[in-house]
Structure 1
Amino acid sequence: MKLLVVSDSHGSKKEIKELAEKYKGKVNAMIHCGDSELSADDEALTAYLAVRGNCDMDGRLPDDLAEEINGNTILVTHGHLYGIKMSLMKLRYRAEESGAKFVFFGHSHTLGAEMVNGTLYLNPGSILLPRGRQERTYALVEASEDMVKVEFLTHDHEVVEEQEFSL
């Protein structure tokens, strides 16, 4: 399974359109973790499984999305409703409730990934307004039966960080 994960594009269609074009047919799903500031039916967002962030006004976007992709339950949320800037504890409870093995969120504009009790928690950073670093980032997640590889890439598609986790 291979996934593209992006977040916090804040009204900029250019970046998410370019990513959709680049990865079309190369990933199993494209995920937007909120704060697109676009309507649910905007053409730039239609390629993505997308959720509503604190800056999104379109109520048609869900707060959370749990999808099964290649036999893996994936939970997508923006993170503001779970207080992710303070702790991942509320998000962990939600992940356990949904049986998610992959949890993708945004909100803090800070990239990071960690494996907790066999579940990957990943924030791709921001494709437009990063915090804590200069690079605008997104993530590629590639999972096999026994391993998960995460690559954080710049908007120019250069790898800035890689991590591998055992399952």
Structure 2
Amino acid sequence: MKLLIVSDSHGLTEELDELKARHKEEVDKWIHCGDSELSAADKSISGFTTVRGNCDAEESFPNDVVKNAGDYKLLVTHGHLYTVKSTLMKLSYRARELQANIVCFGHSHLLGAERIDNTLFLNPGSLRLPRGRKEKTYMILHLEKDTATVYVHQKDGRELEDLRSTFSLLKRA
């Protein structure tokens, strides 16, 4: 199973449409971690599981979404309600409470992938205003058996191969 994960696109529409066109044959699920600044009716955000970020006016987007991705449980949130700019502690507690294996979040605009205990935390950076790196990024997560491989792509689709990471995951009981 493959998931495309994007965050903090802040009003971009053509870029989201390009991502969908570029990866439509390879991706099973589309995740937007908030701050799209689009309405739920906007065709560019259609097809994405989308959460509400601190810059989103759309009230129909939930703050958190929990969904299954194959044998794994996924928590999607923007992160501002969990103070992710200073620590992942509150978010890790929430993940543990929900028994989530994978957490997708944004808010900080900082690209990152790390495993804490048996939970994989993914921040795809920002398609519009990256921090910490110059590249505008998104991720493709490939889940296969007990392995998660994270591919980081620039906005134009080129993979940043040196940032590819593989993590082992355990299924939750």
Band of TM-score, shorter chain: over 0.9
Q: Secondary structure at the match of 1:138?
A: strand
- Correspondence 1:164 to 2:162: no
Greater shift after overlay, 15-24 or 51-60?
15-24
- One-letter amino acid of the counterpart of residue 166, structure 2: E
1:136 aligned partner: 136
> How far does residue 158 in structure 1 lie from its aligned partner after superposition?
1.5
The whole-number CA distance in structure 2 between the counterparts of 1:40 and 1:138 is 21
- Correspondence 1:7 to 2:17: no
> How far does residue 6 in structure 1 lie from its aligned partner after superposition?
0.2
Q: Secondary structure at the match of 1:159?
A: coil
2:112 aligned partner: 112
The whole-number CA distance in structure 2 between the counterparts of 1:126 and 1:108 is 9
The whole-number CA distance in structure 1 between the counterparts of 2:69 and 2:164 is 22
The whole-number CA distance in structure 2 between the counterparts of 1:137 and 1:10 is 13
State whether residues 28 and 69 of structure 1, in contact with CA within 8 Å, keep that contact through their aligned partners in structure 2.
no
Aligned pairs (5 A) from 1:51-62: 51-62=51-62
2:77 aligned partner: 77
Deviating 4+ runs (over 3 angstroms): none
The whole-number CA distance in structure 2 between the counterparts of 1:68 and 1:166 is 18
The whole-number CA distance in structure 2 between the counterparts of 1:151 and 1:26 is 13
Any unmatched runs of 5+ in structure 2? Answer: none
1:6-45, Cα deviation, whole Å (9 max, x unpaired): 0000001011111111222311201000000001121110
Any unmatched runs of 5+ in structure 1? Answer: none
Greater shift after overlay, 145-154 or 47-56?
145-154
> How far does residue 69 in structure 1 lie from its aligned partner after superposition?
2.1
Identity %: 50
Greater shift after overlay, 102-111 or 155-164?
155-164
The whole-number CA distance in structure 1 between the counterparts of 2:23 and 2:67 is 19
1:81-121, Cα deviation, whole Å (9 max, x unpaired): 00001100100111111111110000011100001122110
Q: Secondary structure at the match of 1:109?
A: coil
CA RMSD, Structure 1 to Structure 2 (Å): 1.0
If the length of structure 2 is used for normalisation, what is the TM-score? 0.93
1:63 aligned partner: 63
